[in-house]
């Protein structure tokens, strides 16, 4: 029996639909690859430039003694400048880039996965809204939700590298870990595979809302800045030129998001070096924590409220610099990548 015209049309249409689907998937894969490359590049450059502040911040966070010189305690570190000079005099200039290999791998991995996840999540939410599966959401809510998803995904993937980097930054001289290979073998042998995920719970509690807030603040500030710029410059948008709007919005987003979640960041760092006692004894007192709750209680009882904000100054400086650099480098990289793709 011959096929009906309807059946013939259906079979003729199927290859066309498959080609359209294949083309869309190919385009999506290309965009995600660009997000990964641009995010990884932004993470790499940002990490290298802000590493000294990160090393100082971690030393502050891990120090049980006060970080204020006026307090009558035998504190090793008590200021950004003093800490930098002390680290250089005792361990050399390169100590400010301790854990750089793990840090760079962390930044490239985290940056790439973060921006890829963020933009993919926004696309999914947009398509769900187009199909009337979900109600329309405010832009700031979408940015927060997608940023949180990006933070969750990137943190889970990159956490072992974060632990490794923190261990290298936390050790003094002589070195406890000779190389990354030695660190991987020793951590696995002495503490087991779970050591690479120490502090994951506070990391997720810290990074998920921070990344959500960072993207929400960034999208809010850049939207308002561009609106203000257009309104006050006869439609020329002077602030939008040369990436000033991106830099300012990124810096503000970094400061606001980091300030809100900072106590969790301190607890995260303390738990990541939990059990890592001997190499840290020369830096001062060392405490042991059984859980995130125990960590919070011990910090509160022995160091007070100030204990939750140790290293805040270098952290906020670093947050402003790294966030502005990260968004600027990402936006510029993605622009040139997409332009190159269109030209080809």
| CB neighbour burial string for 274-295, b if at least 16 within 10 angstroms, e if fewer | bebeebbeebeeeeebeebeeb
pLDDT value, residue 149? 96
- The closest of 204, 43, 27 to 123, measured between CA atoms, is 27
- pLDDT band per the 50, 70, 90 thresholds, residue 6: very low
**Residue 278, C-beta contacts closer than 8 angstroms, at least 6 positions apart:** 176
- pLDDT band per the 50, 70, 90 thresholds, residue 251: very high
Angle, helix 139-170 to helix 200-232, in steps of 10 degrees: 130
Average pLDDT over residues 80-96: 88
- pLDDT band per the 50, 70, 90 thresholds, residue 97: confident
Q: Is residue 26 a part of any domain in this protein? A: no
Question: Residue 87 and residue 320: Cα distance in Å, rounded?
Answer: 23
Name which residue leads in pLDDT, 119 or 314: 119
Q: Is residue 9 a part of any domain in this protein? A: no
Name which residue leads in pLDDT, 267 or 324: 324
pLDDT score of 1 more than 50 = no
Name which residue leads in pLDDT, 100 or 302: 302
Q: What rounded mean pLDDT belongs to the chain?
A: 82
pLDDT value, residue 69? 65
- The closest of 166, 178, 174 to 99, measured between CA atoms, is 166
pLDDT value, residue 277? 57
- Residue percentage of the chain with pLDDT more than 90: 28
Q: Is residue 303 a part of any domain in this protein? A: yes
Q: Is residue 212 a part of any domain in this protein? A: yes
Tens digit of each residue's pLDDT (9 = 90 or more) over 98-120: 767 777 888 899 999 999 999 99
pLDDT score of 2 more than 50 = no
The strand ranges marked E within 189-247 are none
Give residue 138's domain range.
31-343
Residue 311 CA to its chain's centroid (Å)? 17
Question: Residue 158 and residue 199: Cα distance in Å, rounded?
Answer: 13
Q: Is residue 336 a part of any domain in this protein? A: yes
Q: Is residue 23 a part of any domain in this protein? A: no
Q: Lowest-pLDDT range, 6-20, 129-143, 265-279, 287-301? A: 6-20
pLDDT value, residue 99? 66
- pLDDT band per the 50, 70, 90 thresholds, residue 172: low
DSSP state of 279: G
pLDDT score of 12 more than 60 = no
pLDDT score of 26 more than 70 = yes
Average pLDDT over residues 271-279: 66
Name which residue leads in pLDDT, 285 or 249: 249
Residue 19 CB coordination number (10 Å): 10
CA angle 41/43/48 to nearest 5° reads 100
Kindly report the CATH number assigned to the domain that includes residue 293: 1.50.40.10
**Residue 331, C-beta contacts closer than 8 angstroms, at least 6 positions apart:** 243, 246
Name which residue leads in pLDDT, 199 or 209: 209
pLDDT value, residue 239? 58
Q: Is residue 257 a part of any domain in this protein? A: yes
pLDDT score of 81 more than 50 = yes
pLDDT score of 71 more than 80 = no
Q: Report how many domains make up the chain.
A: 1
Average pLDDT over residues 270-294: 69
Q: Is residue 8 a part of any domain in this protein? A: no
């Amino acid at each position: 029996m011959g096929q009906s015209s309807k059946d013939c049309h259906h079979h003729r249409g199927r290859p066309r639909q498959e080609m359209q689907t294949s083309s869309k998937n190919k385009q999506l894969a290309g965009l995600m690859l660009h997000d990964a490359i641009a995010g990884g590049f932004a993470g790499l450059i940002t990490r290298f430039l802000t590493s000294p502040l990160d090393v100082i911040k971690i030393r502050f966070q891990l120090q049980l003694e006060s970080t204020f010189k006026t307090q009558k305690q035998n504190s090793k570190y008590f200021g950004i400048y003093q800490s930098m000079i002390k680290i250089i005099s005792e361990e050399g200039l390169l100590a400010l880039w301790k854990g750089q290999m793990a840090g760079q791998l962390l930044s490239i991995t985290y940056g790439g996965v973060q921006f890829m996840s963020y933009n993919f999540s926004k696309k999914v939410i947009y398509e769900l809204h187009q199909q009337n599966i979900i109600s329309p959401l405010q832009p700031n809510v979408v940015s927060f939700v997608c940023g949180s998803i990006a933070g969750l995904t990137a943190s889970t993937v990159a956490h072992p590298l974060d632990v490794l980097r923190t261990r290298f930054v936390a050790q003094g001289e002589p070195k406890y870990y000779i190389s990354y290979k030695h660190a991987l073998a020793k951590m696995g042998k002495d503490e087991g595979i779970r050591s690479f995920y120490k502090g994951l719970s506070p990391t997720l509690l810290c990074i998920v809302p921070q990344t959500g807030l960072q993207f929400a603040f960034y999208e809010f500030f850049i939207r308002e800045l561009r609106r203000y710029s257009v309104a006050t410059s006869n439609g020329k948008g002077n602030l939008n030129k040369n990436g000033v709007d991106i830099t300012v919005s990124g810096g503000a987003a970094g400061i606001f998001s980091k300030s809100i979640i900072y106590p969790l960041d301190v607890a995260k760092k303390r738990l990541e070096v939990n059990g890592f006692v001997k190499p840290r004894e020369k830096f001062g007192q060392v405490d042991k924590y059984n859980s995130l709750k125990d960590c919070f209680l011990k910090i509160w009882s022995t160091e007070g409220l100030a204990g939750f904000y140790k290293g805040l100054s270098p952290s906020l400086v670093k947050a402003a610099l790294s966030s502005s650099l990260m968004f600027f480098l990402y936006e510029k990289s993605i622009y040139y990548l997409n332009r190159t793709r269109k030209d080809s």
